[in-house]
Amino acid sequence: MSEETTLDTAELGEKIVLVLKTIFDPEIPVDIYELGLIYDVLVNEDNEVKILMTLTSPNCPVAESLPAEVEEKVKSIDEIKDAEVEITFDPPWTQDLMSEEAKLELGLL
C-alpha cells in the first residue's frame, strides 16, 4: 500500500464522524453523534472499526435497525474494511451527553 492511499486514523476518524452525523434518531430530530449516543470509535491497523454506542433507552424502537444502519453506513466508507457496533447501556444515556448544538436544537438551552 503506498503512502498516498494510507489514511491516518485521525482522518479516518473524521470521515467516520461525518457519516455518523448523517444518521438521525427517529424520535429526536438530531443526529446520533450530536445526541451523544456514540461513546467510542476504535480503528485498528487493518481499518476495521468498532463503535461503542448507546440508545436513548433500552426500549428504543430502533434498537434493532439503528446499529445495523450505523454498521452499513460506516462500512460504505471506501477505506473501511469492516465495522461492528456494540450497544451498551453503561453508562446510561442522559441529556447531559448531548452536544450544545443538540441541546440548542431541542430548546434545552
Band of residue 31 on the pLDDT scale cut at 50, 70, 90 = very high
Number of domains in the chain: 1
**Integer angstrom CA distances of residue 102 from 32, 35, 82, 89:** 10, 6, 29, 20
Question: CA 95: distance to chain centroid?
Answer: 17
Q: Does residue 102 lie in a domain region?
A: no
Peptide bond into 91 cis (omega under 30): yes
CATH number at 27 reads: 3.30.300.130
Range of the structural domain that residue 50 is part of: 3-95
In the predicted model, is pLDDT for residue 7 greater than 90?
no
Band of residue 25 on the pLDDT scale cut at 50, 70, 90 = confident
List residues bridging with 90 in a β-sheet: none
Q: Does residue 103 lie in a domain region?
A: no
In the predicted model, is pLDDT for residue 3 greater than 60?
no
Q: Does residue 105 lie in a domain region?
A: no
Mean pLDDT of the chain: 90
Tens of pLDDT, residues 33-74: 999 999 999 999 899 999 999 999 888 888 889 999 999 999
Q: Does residue 104 lie in a domain region?
A: no
